[in-house]
Copies of this chain bind each other. A is one copy, B any other.
Amino acid sequence: MHSIKNTRLLDVLNNKPVDRTPIWIMRQAGRYLPEYLETRQRAGDFMTLASTPDLACEVTLQPIRRFSLDAAILFSDILTVPDAMGLGLYFAAGEGPRFKNPTRTPEDIKQLATPDPETELRYVMDAVRLIRRELNDSVPLIGFAGSPWTVATYMVEGSGSKEYVHIKKLMYGDENALHLLLSKIASTTIAYLRAQADAGAQTLMVFDTWGGILTPRAYQAFSLHYMQKIVTALRESHASIPITLFTKNGGMWLPDIARTGCNAVGVDWTVDLRDARALTQDRVALQGNLDPGVLYGSRVKIKEEVHRVLESYGAGERHIFNLGHGIHQYIDPDNVEFMIETVHELSPAFHAD
């Protein structure tokens, strides 16, 4: 890690000064890039792409080659974990992820496998090792997993959802079964993230996409509690690896997230970073939070909104520029490049000389 050339992201995570605000983009290896679409077509389907280390490495590197980004993020999916637990992940054309065997009953939950990451998820670790070699210490590599609550939601619903009928039935109908499920996912996720760190990931992020559908009390009990377990376990085994937690629509809970001992908190665009910073009192770095929709706008608009995000964080060393959620597939890559250049141009003013 000491030999890495671009240390901006790790510096901000470790509370060290930087010359300008680091930037990476959630879902930066994605469908808005023609080279990604080309590789994905070659792979045939998403799971082949994600589970073939050569191909996963290739798409991870594509945005790094094209843009001047400060980090690479492993190309994978948060649902590789439940797939390895035996649910049979597949992607229905135009419909998003689905599971052949959703987890509904207490019996389903009891029978879940607890996979060994270096066996059942070896393809991920092989991809991490390959990517690190190919990156050649140019920028750090971010490893990641879904939060136990978010993964559980997918496992129980069997697909994306609008009303979360099945997981809410479980939550209000058999809380103990849900806790057992979350514990199993948390254990698997801890082993999975440790394996990613051992394979070479230099910082880790946990995506809690669905924490925001919970009541404040349920968020604490069913989502944050298990993210806390992950942070605590990683601190024991990998004391110095920086960890970022991100709960979409979790603006009201930023103070609690910041108290887990994580290094950074992701913030979506519904919160002003000024408020997020006040709520977390500089205890953590903040990552975000441009509305991905801004990238549909003109250059004048993009520049205006990038400046607004930088200004909302203000002067200080603990901001990681990013979108507030994943980039959309219909965005013009030239606009992405312009956004990145704008961050390079405007952000030094917010850092001490």
A residues engaging B (CB < 8 A)? 163-165, 168-169, 171-173, 212-219, 249, 251-252, 269-272, 275, 291-298, 301, 305, 308, 328, 330
Contacts and interface: CB of A to CB of B under 8 A. Distances in A.
Contact of A173 (B214, B275, B291, B297): B297
Nearest to A252: B251
Contact of A269 (B215, B271, B291, B305): B215
State the oligomeric state as a number of copies: 2
Given A212-B270, A215-B269, A215-B272, 10 more contacts: A163-B292, A164-B293, A165-B328, A168-B292, A169-B293, A169-B296, A171-B293, A172-B301, A173-B301, A252-B270
A contact face: mostly helix, strand, loop, or mixed: helix
In the complex, the 3 A-B pairs of residues with the closest C-beta atoms, listed nearest first:
A168-B293, A172-B297, A169-B296
A213 B268 CA distance: 10
A105 to B, nearest CB: 15
A175 to B, nearest CB: 8
Contacts of A171: 293
22 contacts: A165-B293, A168-B293, A168-B296, A169-B296, A171-B293, A172-B294, A172-B295, A172-B296, A172-B298, A173-B296, A173-B301, A212-B270, A215-B270, A216-B270, A216-B271, A216-B275, A218-B291, A249-B270, A251-B251, A252-B270, A252-B271, A252-B275
A214 B172 CA distance: 30
Contacts of A168: 291-293, 296
B252 A249 contact: no
